[in-house]
Structure 1
Amino acid sequence: MVLNIPLDLRELLDRSVLCSPAAAYIPFSLANIADIESYQLGYRIDGLAGEDLTGWEEGEWLPSWLVIGQWDGDPYFVDMTEGEADYPIYTSVHGEGSWEAEEFGCTFVEWIRTLECLLV
């Protein structure tokens, strides 16, 4: 799988804020650039067949969405086209039969900064 991740987003993913021992107390997982592809399985890519699951129809996983974290199977993702807006974070409930992006309420940049403050 080839992911065309914008350079600024790659740099954010490479910050690896969850390397601190305090990260064990955070109830979600956050991807870093080294494991970003594994976070796409089941959302962008079929984990068994390796087929592309993205599409432009309502309810499909959009090709521009990139999973950056998970909480109990629910993806937290950014739209790679929204770099100028600091990558707002979206989430959606898995197992509903379709994907409906709901804005999480902060940007990836803000989330990283908050995690860095909490883990220092």
Structure 2
Amino acid sequence: MELPQKIRNFIEEKTAMTNMALSWNYPSIDKFNDFQAGYRFNANTLKSLTGQKGEFDKNWFVICTNYFDDPFFIDISETKSDFPVYYAQHGAGSWTQVKIAENITEFTNQLKELKKIENNKDLLLSKLKNEFNLENELWNEVYESILEEEDDEE
């Protein structure tokens, strides 16, 4: 598959975060299909893991993962929407997508903003609380993990 330029740019920037719930692992462009192992296909048998209810959708492609290998992905058919970004936690044989950004550009900007302040916990918590939807599963997990870090430090 030929990756759209916006997706290539996102992957090549590799905005890796220290927060384990956020982007941690990125594919290389030339190994993009290999990076889909465990999501789109079984790495050992090469059998497809798409198509059945609760499985990864055939149009979803993982663009990065967090420390826990939870995927951040796009739906390749959503070109006109500038590729909204989704997240899903590894589940018990079922994937539930959560939209975390309206498009790949917004997600890129969010990561860059958070990266700039990731070592300033007070500023980071304030930004997340005031500019991110903490009702969203991912952003709430990020916020809570930072609070837990503060508790551990005390």
Higher Cα radius of gyration: 2
Is 1:96–2:89 an aligned residue pair?
no
Distance verdict in 2 for CA 1:91–1:115, change over 3 Å:
closer
SS of residue in 2 equivalent to 1:12: helix
Of the three residues 31, 45, 53, the one matched with 2:49 is 53
- Alpha-carbon displacement from aligned partner over 1:29-77 (angstroms, at most 9, x marks no partner): 233422212220000010110111110x321211100000101110110
Give CA deviations for 1:9-29 in whole Å, capped at 9, x if unaligned.
554356x1128xxx4747412
The answer to whether the 8 A contact 1:13-1:33 is kept is no
For residues 93 and 17 of structure 2, the distance between their equivalents in structure 1, rounded to whole angstroms, comes to 31
Q: Is the 8 A contact 1:64 1:81 kept in 2?
A: yes
Identity %: 26
Structure 2 residue 101 is matched with structure 1 residue 105: yes
Tell me which residue corresponds to 1:86. Answer: 82
Match of 1:33 in 2: 29
TM-fit CA distance, 1:100: 1.1
Q: Which amino acid in structure 1 is aligned with residue 86 of structure 2?
A: Y
Mapped contact 2:50–2:56 kept (Cα < 8 A): yes
TM-score by length of 1: 0.74
RMSD of aligned Cα (Å)? 2.4
How many pairs align? 111
> Quick one: which of 39, 43, 63 aligns to 2:58?
63
Structure 2 unaligned segments of length 5 or more: list them. Answer: 117-154
Secondary structure, aligned partner of 2:29:
coil
Which of structures 1 and 2 has the larger relative contact order (alpha carbons within 8 angstroms, sep 6+)? 1
TM-score (norm 2): 0.60
